[in-house]
Chains A and B, each alone.
Chain A
């Protein structure tokens, strides 16, 4: 096994006072195909913090992630969302990404024929151009990506393979975190990155997330289970049920959910499944 020396990581610009809330969601309502899924979400995620968003299946967790990232078909019918003080919802999805928002997908798609290296290079350079920086030198890129792959315990051959093409479930999730480490986003929204991972992979993924943690960044961890939170300690935990945040609290809330399920919060049997 290779050493897991942490790759160097550039810090995002220190937050200015008005920016200390990285993500500000106010009374956000989102509909898909005319059906309202989110009925008014309010959530404030300050820089430097990791928040966990938990909840039973179908509660709207992924809908929130998709709406924030700008996925077509997710229609915002009310409320606001700002990212570092700017209106997030007015921007194209790619502009949101270039500005420093990262969505880790629950089900990363395959891009046949497009090598992982190619996607990463394009993504990194799109972000650098946005910041007025020159494109990354090919050698520097290779060094940076290999360092991060070692950190994520990924086989280097995955670099030349098509993006997620024939990757195992675990490889796909590690690949998402690898992209995140390369892009060094200010705000990472990770949608069930822990699902489908064995315990070793879970630890590697958690290491990646922890590595990104810094006073100038924020992470929204969407998860079903407590187990990722054993490795990535959240500052706050929110419980989403039926399109509303029904409870917010400290890390102890996640432990309580683990013990009691969601039923006591949602008043139905959804919690049984989550246990």
Chain B
């Protein structure tokens, strides 16, 4: 195609957030054993019960094998070569509670996440997690006026141990799966959020995850509890520097929605995807699950996955409360050598529970994109309904799209529908746009955005803009 020149000019652009912050790190030596776990727990000043919880998880993890059922391929991970704790050192003379290191402020500014509240995005409170620790949480005081707790996980353990102890691991248990068990053993920080009964959170809450240190894994844990009748919208963003080696990110997110509570959880995942040849990039092996514990509660997941070398995640809903609702809206993009095996699980336990799955997969280059989803209706979940739609879009002919839907229905009154489609951006479509003065890369972006618009509609406004830009950047050299 003779549009090559312009496409190659764009190729010069790099992963936008691939810089490294020069900062002194307090890090433990690589390797994983009980001593490292004790060290992490000690650094964080944790109570004994939590250390015991970690050690139990670790012992269990040692008996587990890494899952191989996902449609992803990677060389064995050496868990002893990973550093499990790395935190930016506080500058001499600063103490905990003092202002944040200016170098970190600059980093977040550069990422477009100002941490100074007066410059911050109006209406969005941010918890900034840098490598293994949370470095700042904005608007805490404003939220406290409403009784909302929003802080780092470590702080929650110190100041609200009863809440943490009550809910931690109640949705994703410490032995849930290989990566969740690893996380339970070594998790270092993350965000904690509690919305009291009947409170509608007045602003978007968000966590921005940044991996900076080399050869380090990030293992964070997010716990969001929406008490009876409360509402919260939560956003999550992530980036990492460009490095030649792969880095592991094994997070756990637990959501609990009590009676009539609503949680909306949105992710724009832009971890470093590796280079065009497939070198480097983040292994994003994440367990996210929400439980609609109370009647008439609702959990809605929206994810836009454009980054990571490998994505392995299935944000799920346990619909325990009667009349509860679970939703999953997803755009997953794989380009170059990226691989994604992602989808959801909707487990219907309560009566008249409803779930919707809308999954859009885009593959370009040598990308491999799999949707894997489970819809399970337990006996007694009368009147349960599910509607699933999985659409795949192929760009070029060296990529792959796969769909693995699992349906287990034990309740005769349930209604489960599944629709799937596969389409390809054709040369004819690109030429049609060109003949209207629109360059091929713009045309691809237009077609991809058209393909994703039902999902983007679910994102909060600023996030939708970001997601659209990100898709454009991720696909810049997808044709030619």
Chain A residues with Cβ below 8 Å from B388 are none
With A72-B2, A111-B429, A112-B423 in contact, do A92 and B434 touch (Cβ < 8 Å)?
Answer: yes
CB pair B435–A93 under 8 Å, yes or no, is: yes
Complex Cα distance, B430 from A109, in Å, reads 10
A130 nearest CB across to chain B (Å): 7
CB pair B451–A113 under 8 Å, yes or no, is: yes
With A72-B2, A126-B438, A127-B437 in contact, do A109 and B429 touch (Cβ < 8 Å)?
Answer: yes
Chain B residues with Cβ below 8 Å from A92 are 2-3, 6, 434, 439
Contact residue range for chain A?
20 to 34
Complex Cα distance, B6 from A118, in Å, reads 23
CB pair B432–A111 under 8 Å, yes or no, is: yes
CB < 8 Å neighbour of A114 from B427, B435, B439, B446: B446
Within 53-83 of A, Cβ neighbours of B (below 8 Å) are at: 69-72
| Residue B447, interface by CB 8 Å | yes
Residue of B nearest to A90 (CB): B2
Give per-residue flags for A127-156: 1 if the beta carbon is below 8 A from chain B beta carbons, else 0. 100100000000000000000000000000
Interface centre among A108, A109, A179 (most CB of B within 10 A): A109
Residue of B nearest to A98 (CB): B437
A84 nearest CB across to chain B (Å): 16
With A72-B2, A92-B3, A122-B442 in contact, do A111 and B433 touch (Cβ < 8 Å)?
Answer: yes
With A112-B451, A113-B447, A119-B446 in contact, do A126 and B437 touch (Cβ < 8 Å)?
Answer: yes
With A72-B2, A126-B436, A130-B437 in contact, do A109 and B428 touch (Cβ < 8 Å)?
Answer: yes
B455 nearest CB across to chain A (Å): 11
With A113-B447, A114-B447 in contact, do A97 and B435 touch (Cβ < 8 Å)?
Answer: yes
B178 nearest CB across to chain A (Å): 38
| Residue B431, interface by CB 8 Å | yes
CB < 8 Å neighbour of B434 from A94, A108, A119: A94
Chain A residues with Cβ below 8 Å from B429 are 109-111
With A92-B2, A113-B447, A113-B450 in contact, do A72 and B431 touch (Cβ < 8 Å)?
Answer: yes
| Residue A123, interface by CB 8 Å | yes
| Residue A183, interface by CB 8 Å | yes
| Residue B453, interface by CB 8 Å | yes
| Residue A169, interface by CB 8 Å | no
With A71-B431, A92-B2, A93-B431 in contact, do A111 and B447 touch (Cβ < 8 Å)?
Answer: yes
| Residue A103, interface by CB 8 Å | yes
| Residue B426, interface by CB 8 Å | yes
CB < 8 Å neighbour of A179 from B6, B423, B436, B446: B436
Q: Size of chain B's interface in residues, with CB distance under 8 A?
A: 26
CB pair B451–A123 under 8 Å, yes or no, is: no
Give per-residue flags for B402-444: 1 if the beta carbon is below 8 A from chain A beta carbons, else 0. 0000000000000000000001001111011111111110100
| Residue B122, interface by CB 8 Å | no
| Residue B1, interface by CB 8 Å | yes
Complex Cα distance, B6 from A211, in Å, reads 36
B169 nearest CB across to chain A (Å): 41
Residue of B nearest to A164 (CB): B432
Chain A residues with Cβ below 8 Å from B433 are 94, 111, 119, 122
Chain B residues with Cβ below 8 Å from A115 are 450
Chain A residues with Cβ below 8 Å from B435 are 69-71, 93-94, 97, 102-103, 105
CB pair B434–A118 under 8 Å, yes or no, is: no
Interface centre among A92, A115, A118 (most CB of B within 10 A): A92
Chain B residues with Cβ below 8 Å from A102 are 435
CB pair B446–A105 under 8 Å, yes or no, is: no
Complex Cα distance, B449 from A72, in Å, reads 24
CB pair A118–B446 under 8 Å, yes or no, is: yes
Chain B residues with Cβ below 8 Å from A94 are 3, 433-435, 437-440
CB < 8 Å neighbour of B437 from A97, A105, A114: A97
Complex Cα distance, B194 from A17, in Å, reads 76
Within 10-66 of A, Cβ neighbours of B (below 8 Å) are at: none
CB pair B432–A123 under 8 Å, yes or no, is: no
Residue of A nearest to B423 (CB): A112
Complex Cα distance, B433 from A93, in Å, reads 9
Chain B residues with Cβ below 8 Å from A103 are 435
Complex Cα distance, B340 from A221, in Å, reads 49
Residue of B nearest to A114 (CB): B450
Chain B residues with Cβ below 8 Å from A114 are 446-447, 449-450
Chain B residues with Cβ below 8 Å from A97 are 434-437
With A113-B450, A122-B442 in contact, do A70 and B434 touch (Cβ < 8 Å)?
Answer: yes
CB pair B436–A119 under 8 Å, yes or no, is: yes
CB pair B450–A162 under 8 Å, yes or no, is: yes
Residue of B nearest to A123 (CB): B436
If A97-B436, A115-B450, A119-B436 are given as contacts, then 20 extra A-B residue pairs at C-beta distance below 8 Å, sorted by A number, are A69-B435, A72-B1, A72-B2, A92-B6, A94-B433, A94-B435, A94-B438, A103-B435, A108-B432, A109-B428, A111-B429, A111-B432, A112-B450, A113-B449, A113-B451, A113-B453, A114-B449, A118-B446, A122-B438, A126-B436
Cβ-closest 9 pairs across A and B:
A113-B450, A126-B437, A123-B436, A97-B437, A93-B434, A114-B450, A98-B437, A94-B434, A103-B435
Measured CB to CB, the residues of B under 8 A from A are 1-3, 6, 423, 426-429, 431-440, 442, 446-447, 449-451, 453
Measured CB to CB, the residues of A under 8 A from B are 69-72, 92-94, 97-98, 102-103, 105, 108-115, 118-119, 122-123, 126-127, 130, 162, 179, 183
Jot down 20 A-B pairs with beta carbons below 8 A, ordered by A.
A69-B435, A71-B431, A71-B435, A72-B2, A93-B435, A94-B438, A97-B435, A102-B435, A105-B435, A110-B429, A113-B449, A113-B451, A114-B447, A118-B450, A123-B436, A126-B436, A126-B438, A162-B450, A183-B436, A183-B437
